[in-house]
Structures are given as C-alpha cells and as structure tokens.
Amino acid sequence: MLLKEKIMGKFCFGVDIGGTSVKLGMFTLKGELISKWEIPTLPESVLSDVARSIEDRFTDEYQKKDCEGIGIDVPGPVTGDGVVSQCVNMHWGRTDVKSEIEKLTGLKALVANDANAAALGEMWQGGGKGHESLIMVTLGTGVGGGVIIDGKIIAGSNGAAGEIGHICVNPNEEASCNCGKKGCLEQYASATGIVRLAKLEMVEGKNSTILADIDGFSAKDVLDAAKKKDAIGLDVLDKLGWYLAFACAGMAQTVDPEVFVVGGGVSKAGEIIIKAITKYYNEFVMDALKNKEFRLATLGNDAGIYGCAAMIAGKKIG
C-alpha cells in the first residue's frame, strides 16, 4: 500500500515478524511512512521471503544505493549482536538473524525483540513522542514490555529485559502461568487473564453480571461491562489496575522513566485502563517517582515497523 509519493532521498525498511504475518514498511529517515505491506509468515523461509519482498520494492525512484538498511524484530530474546537465542513461535533455535539478512540483501541490518521495537516506535512517532526515557506495557494475549532509557533500548545481557509480564505480582497464586511460574502479571493483566479473573468472580457468585448472558465472553466484553457499571466488570478493572500499578511501580523504582505507554489490544478500552492504573500507582512508589504520566499507545499494529525503522534512522539498542 503506497502512502506517500515523491518522497526522495535516503530511506530504510522496518520489518515486524509476527506469528502469522510479517509487516513491512518503507520509511524516510525522519519517520515518514512511505508504504507498508504484509507477507505470510513461513517460519522455514521467512528471512529469505523478507529479503525477496524488500528487493521487489526497489525502483528508479527508490534505489538500493539510497537504502540505509533494514530494522527487523522477532518475537523472542535478541542479543546485542543480532542473534536470537530461541524463538518458540518461529520454531527457531539459535539464529543469527542479523548476519543472515545482511547476506541475503547486502544491506545493513539491526535486530530487536518485538516488544522493544514497539516501544522504540512509540517513542519515535507515537504515544511516547517527545520523551527519551519510557516504559512500554503491551497488553494482549500475553503481557510484554520494552524499556528505553536516554533513547536506547535496554535489551539486557540475554536480550530478555522488559519482560514485565512475568514479574511476580501475587506470590500466593496457586495457578501456573504459561511460563511455569505462579503469580505473574500476565495471569491478571493479559486478555486471557482478564477473562480468567471475571470467571473466578462469577464462580464466587457474590455479584450478578451481564457477562453471564454472553457465551464465551472476551476481555473486551469484560471491560465494556465495566464501562456500563457492571459489578464484576468494575471489580476486574480495579484488580487489573492494582496489578499493573504494582508492576509499573517496581519498574519505576528501578529505571525512573519519564512516561509509561500502554498498548496492545486490551488498551483499546481507552482511558479507563489509564485511570485504573493511576488510581493505585502512587501508593507503591517513593515521593520522587509519584505522578508519572501514563499514556495510551497510538501506532497500533504499526509500532513494530516504526521501531525497526527507528533503529536504522539513528536510535540505538543499549
């Protein structure tokens, strides 16, 4: 899909590898999206498919010699040298994504974890624009996150920094998270976690709820119920805010960001998520860290490609 025409000069590509599709974008180095498109994710050939798709984008107007490089993200931990230690969704073991893409395309490549790339994208052109230090919280099927300090992604020694979904927020939890631990934030703040909380409330039977009339209700249904002042919907929203505030406070005490950016499918519920978090956040932090700003993400599913392009455009991985 062509979004802008006649944008000349240096440009780059951002590539967001997901479980079912790969999103690709062509950008100016100032962050203008020239065009974007998608290809299916075929794990056994995805990197060569990406290389071919990018080659098809070069024209007389956008020549390869003017391309500054390719930023690429993957759903797994990435080390500073662009190596993926393991990527379960791709059925990959250790994979040197950077070297392989550079060999296939002849272009410079930088690689990041997908949540970290999304955080960088939101800092560059989204909900975190204007700030150089932020924490992004992504609330989807799971809970992910990214940490950026002084404009640099904090990836960590194993590429696993920012995995806030597996911060323990309830040491008394008896059910296990998908990671094998118990009491992870993801068990309460993800889309599946929200549904789980609502079902537990319904089993207790203390309050009636409109959710009882919805077969196979979703997290959206729960949050919509909260907007309608449904008792169980409101109780789940309150618990969601408490757990997120507790986790964000711990992160703030560690890295002191300027702003938190909340994204992912669950964040589409809007400002009620922000209000639920800020209701409790100040209770868990020292005075110097109180009243942090919480914003909704604005780039949606394009955050990853923006972040990947930002790496090439001059942003860095720490």
Q: Is residue 102 part of a domain?
A: yes
Q: What is the mean pLDDT of residues 214-229?
A: 96
Reported as a single tens digit per residue, the pLDDT across 68-91 is 999 999 988 888 888 887 776 677
The percent of residues above 90 in pLDDT, for the chain, comes to 77
Report yes or no: 76 and 90 within 8 Å, Cβ to Cβ. yes
pLDDT for the residue numbered 315 = 61
Q: Is residue 29 part of a domain?
A: yes
Shared domain check, 54 and 33: yes
Q: Between residues 230 and 84, which one has the greater pLDDT?
A: 230
Q: Is residue 6 part of a domain?
A: no
Q: Is residue 306 part of a domain?
A: no
- Residue 175 class from Cβ within 10 Å (0-12 exposed, 13-18 middle, 19+ buried)? exposed
How confident is the prediction for the chain on average, in pLDDT?
92
pLDDT for the residue numbered 94 = 87
Structure tokens at 258: 């300027």
Q: Supply the pTM of this predicted model.
A: 0.85
Euclidean distance between CA atoms 78 and 82, whole angstroms: 6
Q: Is residue 1 part of a domain?
A: no
Place of tokens 């702003």: 259
- Range name among 6-10, 133-137, 180-184, 254-258 with the lowest pLDDT average: 6-10
User: What DSSP letter does each residue of 9-36 carry, written as one string?
Assistant: S-EEEEEEE-SSEEEEEEEETTS-EEEE
Reported as a single tens digit per residue, the pLDDT across 91-130 is 788 889 999 999 999 999 999 988 889 999 999 999 999 9
Place of tokens 């309608």: 228
Shared domain check, 93 and 145: no
Q: Is residue 31 part of a domain?
A: yes
Report yes or no: 271 and 263 within 8 Å, Cβ to Cβ. no
Shared domain check, 237 and 168: yes
Q: Is residue 279 part of a domain?
A: yes
Report yes or no: 83 and 98 within 8 Å, Cβ to Cβ. yes
Angle at CA of residue 31, ends 115 and 264, nearest 5°: 30
Does position 7 have pLDDT exceeding 70, yes or no?
A: no
Q: Which domain holds residue 84?
A: 11-120+311-317
Number of domains within the chain: 2
Report yes or no: 308 and 146 within 8 Å, Cβ to Cβ. no
For residue 258, which phi and psi values (nearest 5 degrees)?
Answer: -75, -35
Shared domain check, 236 and 150: yes
Euclidean distance between CA atoms 42 and 127, whole angstroms: 31
Euclidean distance between CA atoms 44 and 23, whole angstroms: 17
